[in-house]
Each structure stands twice: as structure tokens, then as C-alpha cells.
Amino acid sequence: MTTRPPDREGARTTLQKLLSRFHFGITLFAVALSGITILLAGITTLRSYADHNIELAARLGAYGAEPALVFNDPQAAREGLEPLMRLPGIARLRLLDDRGHPLYQWTSPRGDPAPLLTRLFFPHPFAATVQRNGSVIGRIEVWGDSSTLIDYVRIGALAGLGCLLITALGTIILARRFEYELVKPLGEIATVAHDVRLHRRFDKRVQSLGIVELDRLGGDINALLDELQGWQGTMESENALLAHRASHDMLTAMPNRAAFDEQLRQRIQTAQAKERRFALLFIDADNFKAANDNHGHAAGDAVLVALSERIKDTLRKGDFAARIGGDEFIVIIDPLDGAIDPRELADRIRAGASQPVALPGGQHYRLGISVGAAVYPDDGADARTLLTAADAAMYADKLVKRPT
């Protein structure tokens, strides 16, 4: 189970970064699109304004230069055209008389900032005829330059840069907000999943997150956890059942031979450590085979259950009883103090067992048992010796009864 921080891997990225990149891309696209659109629309509009401006300038020039043409006077032409020379965006002026000879020419002392743009936008001069009382007396030609356009483009580029800055800022803020709104709930889900996996906290649940998709995910995780919790419970109870079955006898629900061996080992250890005594009673039903044969297996089972119940009834707290074979039972009487005589206990059990047992068929059966006792450490210090001693004592008891 290797746990590695998720953001150490180069190829992966956080959701916030992803969102941030996404936002920036979209916003940049939108800003660029609108910016270019506005810029193009602006240039088109400005160009038409510039055309208009030059046309108006030509008209104004035609009006102002009219007397100069009438009197054929270059000086007057200069004076008449002077207002035009102060206008921005006019590169060159030319006044022609009725024969097409230039009367006056002027070129702006301000250099053209972008000759290429000028050629592109103002390839031809704007010309206006000068008329006097209906007859053409001359012509004025006006060339525009791109200075106003350049200004506009410069301002547009600056504004675009500003927009880009605002975009970047907005994207960061938006991504932060997204992190709060989206990444935090996801983190909560991850925390729950992590807790469940690491600490087996199947009772943990994802809280409502306020986002439909995430709530659906959380609901699914919760349902999964419900199932896991159910499985866990079932498994635990089944494990307990299996463990019980492994150590207990099915018929009488008493501990079986394996459980007894373990119990005896522990009791010996304890008694050894604390220097205590305990007794072992070996109980065997007399003629059980005959009862089985005569009355059937169901009756035999009923007799065994009855016997086990009676044995249990005689037990004190701390004592232990087990069924170690077909009709063989063992009782550990622990601790064994001076007040208790194993023989007396054996007699008590014998007396309890001798009460008639009601068989399934309605008959009654009187069971006889043989009991042998062994005492630790008097009769043996280990399990085998103790068992052998108890077994021998039980046999002796059985032999005593045989003749009768």
C-alpha cells in the first residue's frame, strides 16, 4: 500500500490549474475576438470618417482658394488653403487652374508615420472641382495620411493590453472561486474515501455538498459505504458463527474436544502460575449404545442433550464443561478449594443425570453415567496424564457398576 502525494507527479495537474487554464483560454479567445472585431470596425469607421474629413477639407479648400484661382494668385491660394494645413491627417495639397497647371502645392512638414498604411488606406487623392458661377475654374487635390489611424491603432493596442491584464486577473479570481466551490467538495469526498480505506471507518458518510453532480457522486459513495458496512457486519457475524461452530458441538452447544484441549492447556498454565488446584471429571454415559439401538438416534440425541443440560446445571461460575466424544463429557472444576470434594460433585452430577429423560416418542429413559475424577496436580501435571487419570477413574467407576 504505497501512498504518494498526488501533485508530485509531473504529468498530472490540479483541478484548479486546469480550470484556470481553461478559463484563461476562453476569456482570452473572447477578448481577442471582440478586440479584433472592435479594432476592425473602428478602423473601417475611422477610415470612412477620414475620407469624409478629407472630402470636407477639399470642399473647404475649394471655397477658400476660389478667389485665388479667379485672380490667378498663388499667394492668395496659400492664404485660402491655410486652414487645411492645420488639419491633422492631411499630407499634401495641390491647387490646379482650369488648364491643369498647378497654381499652388503644399506638403505637410510632419513626416508620414506609416507610409505603407497611407498607401493602403489613401491610395488616391481626393479631388474637388472649384466652380465660379457654374463654370469650372480649377481643381483641388487633397492627400490624406495615416496619422489618425496610427493613433487609433495605438490606443486600441493599449486598450487590448489592459483588457488582457483584466482578463488574467479575472481568471485568477474565477479559478479561486471555482476552487472554493468545486475543489473543496471534491476534497471532502476524497477525505471520506481515504478515511474509509485507511481506517475502515464504514460509518463515515459524505455530507450534502450543494452541487447536483457532486451530490450524486456523494450519494453513490454513501450507498456503496452502506453496502460495505452491511457486508462487514454480515462477515463479522458469520466469522463469529464459524468460530463458534469450530469450537462447539452442534448438538448440545457445548464446547467440543478442540475447545476443551485449549481450555485445559490454559487452566494448567494458570494453575501452575498461581499454584492452584483444579479437578477434572470424566463423564461417560452407561449403555448409551443400547439406548441408541433400542430407541433410535433421535432418542439418543435427546438423551445427550438432557445430559448436557444437567451437567451445565451443576456448574459454578468459572467451571468448564465440554463434550469430547459421542457420549463422553468432561467438566473442569476450577478453582478447587478445600471445601469441594470432586467425589461429591461427581455424585451430584450422577444424581442429576439419573432423573428420567422424556424421549420424543413419549417414553421415559433413565440414564446411568460413570464419572471419574482427577485432580491437578495430585493426579498429573499435564493434560495427557490428567486425562488418562480421569479416564481410568471413570472406567473404574463403570466396572464397579457392571455386575449390577
Q: Which of residues 64 and 342 has its CB atom nearest to another protein in the complex?
A: 64
Shortest reach from residue 58's CB to another protein, in Å: 17
Q: Which of residues 74 and 361 has its CB atom nearest to another protein in the complex?
A: 74
Torsion-angle region of 75 (φ positive above 0: left; ψ -120 to 50: alpha; else: beta): alpha
Q: Which of residues 138 and 342 has its CB atom nearest to another protein in the complex?
A: 138
Instruction: Identify whether 327 is a catalytic site residue.
Output: yes
Q: Cα 65 to chain center, whole Å?
A: 84
Of residues 145, 284, 319, 327, which has the active-site annotation? 327
Q: Which of residues 67 and 170 has its CB atom nearest to another protein in the complex?
A: 67
Contact 330, 322 (CB under 8 A): yes
Shortest reach from residue 124's CB to another protein, in Å: 28
Which of 139, 154, 130, 147 minimizes the C-alpha distance to 53? 147
Angle at 196 between CA 190 and CA 202, to 5 degrees: 130
Q: Which of residues 67 and 125 has its CB atom nearest to another protein in the complex?
A: 67
Shortest reach from residue 99's CB to another protein, in Å: 13
The DSSP bridge partners found for residue 357 are 365
What is the distance between the alpha carbons of residues 185 and 203, in angstroms, rounded to a whole number? 19
Shortest reach from residue 91's CB to another protein, in Å: 24
Report the amino acid identity of residue 141: E
Shortest reach from residue 133's CB to another protein, in Å: 2
Half-sphere exposure of 12 (CA within 13 A, CB side): 8
Shortest reach from residue 80's CB to another protein, in Å: 7
Q: What is the CB neighbour count within 10 angstroms for residue 14?
A: 12
Shortest reach from residue 138's CB to another protein, in Å: 10
Q: Which of residues 137 and 211 has its CB atom nearest to another protein in the complex?
A: 137
Q: Edge-to-edge strand order for the sheet containing 369-376?
A: 320-323, 328-333, 278-285, 369-376
Q: If you count them, how many residues does the chain have?
A: 404
The DSSP bridge partners found for residue 119 are none
Q: Which of residues 86 and 297 has its CB atom nearest to another protein in the complex?
A: 86
Report the amino acid identity of residue 93: L
Binding region for another protein (CB under 8 A): 63-64, 66-68, 70-76, 79-80, 132-135, 137
Which residues belong to the active site?
327
